[in-house]
Amino acid sequence: MKNLKTIEEKVRAVLEQDEDARNDDMTLYLRVCNAYVKGAGTLPLETIMLQYRLLCLPNFESVGRTRRKLQAECPELLGSLEARKCRSAQENAYRQYAKE
């Protein structure tokens, strides 16, 4: 639970400072990783993907779930209208896919 609170603190800080991170989960993840490990964004993708635990980086899904939680609780952290529409459309498409 303590780890989730730490992730929440870092995600909140990034969302408050970076509007691009509010709109794009990949940008958010990059900024959060850089908050954990200075220069994490310069590491090869393979290193991050295979050694994220050794680097003490949070799981990508945990960051995304935390963003959704924070944006539901704090409207000022929501992304742009365009990004919200895109996420909604993707969610609807996934729901249709999951029904098949």
Q: What is the pLDDT of residues 5-53, one digit of tens each?
A: 789 999 999 999 999 999 999 999 999 999 999 999 999 999 999 999 9
For residues 76-83, give the mean pLDDT.
89
Q: How many CA atoms lie within 13 A of 47 on its CB side?
A: 10
Q: What's the rounded Cα separation, in Å, for the pair 75 and 30? A: 22
pTM for the model: 0.84
Both tokens of 66, joined, read 């935390």
Number of domains in the chain: 1
Q: Which domain holds residue 35?
A: 2-99
- The CA distances from residue 82 to 21, 61, 72, 96, in Å, are 14, 22, 17, 21
**What is residue 2's predicted lDDT score, i.e. its pLDDT?**
59
